[in-house]
Amino acid sequence: ASCGLGLPDGIAAMVPATFCLAATLARTVVAPLSLRVLPSAMLQGSALLVLAGASVFQACAARIPSTPSALEVHVLLSALALMGAGCCPHYSFVPVAMAQHGELRTRDHAAYSTAVNVGVMSGLVLPGLVALPTIEVL
């Protein structure tokens, strides 16, 4: 964030912290909500949160100056918080949503776990190759 977005070091350090804090705090909402809402509906709602956060992040990151104002920093961090909260239920709810539509075989779960791990690995490698705002939208 300090190199790709040109943010000061203190603000750049808040980028991953904001994402992780939002994902952790979202679990306090997701857990009781999962008793009343179908996993597939929860995933659709969380995907919309991720899309909204990534869109705001892309728009804000494209216009951020070398010394951002407090408002620009808050908008950027809020977008990251939306993405973090939206990503919270994905890993655990996808297999449950898949199982609702039929039998979830071991092979299906293995394919899902492999895809998740390849996605995580790509997410760790791609920011070194492509600008961070572009990756977040993809």
- Round the average pLDDT of the chain to a whole number and report it: 80
pLDDT of residue 132: 66
User: What are 60-107's pLDDT values in tens digits?
Assistant: 877 777 677 788 888 888 998 999 888 888 777 877 777 777 777 788
The pLDDT, as a whole number, for residue 102 is: 74
* Reported confidence tier of residue 116, pLDDT bands at 50, 70, 90: confident
8 A C-beta contact, residue 135 and residue 123: yes
Look at the pTM and tell me if it is higher than 0.85.
no
Give 2 or 70, the one with higher predicted confidence: 70
Q: What is the pLDDT of residue 136?
A: 64
Confidence bin at 58 (pLDDT 50/70/90): confident
pLDDT for the residue 123:
72
Q: How many helices, marked H, and strands, marked E, lie in the chain? A: 6, 0
Q: Cβ neighbours of residue 58 under 8 Å, at least 6 residues apart? A: 133, 134, 136, 137
Conformation bin of residue 8: beta by default, left when phi > 0, alpha when psi is -120 to 50? beta
Contact 49, 85 (CB under 8 A): yes
Q: What is the pLDDT of residue 1?
A: 54
Given this model, what pLDDT does residue 4 score?
Answer: 59
Cα dihedral 38, 39, 42, 44 sign: negative
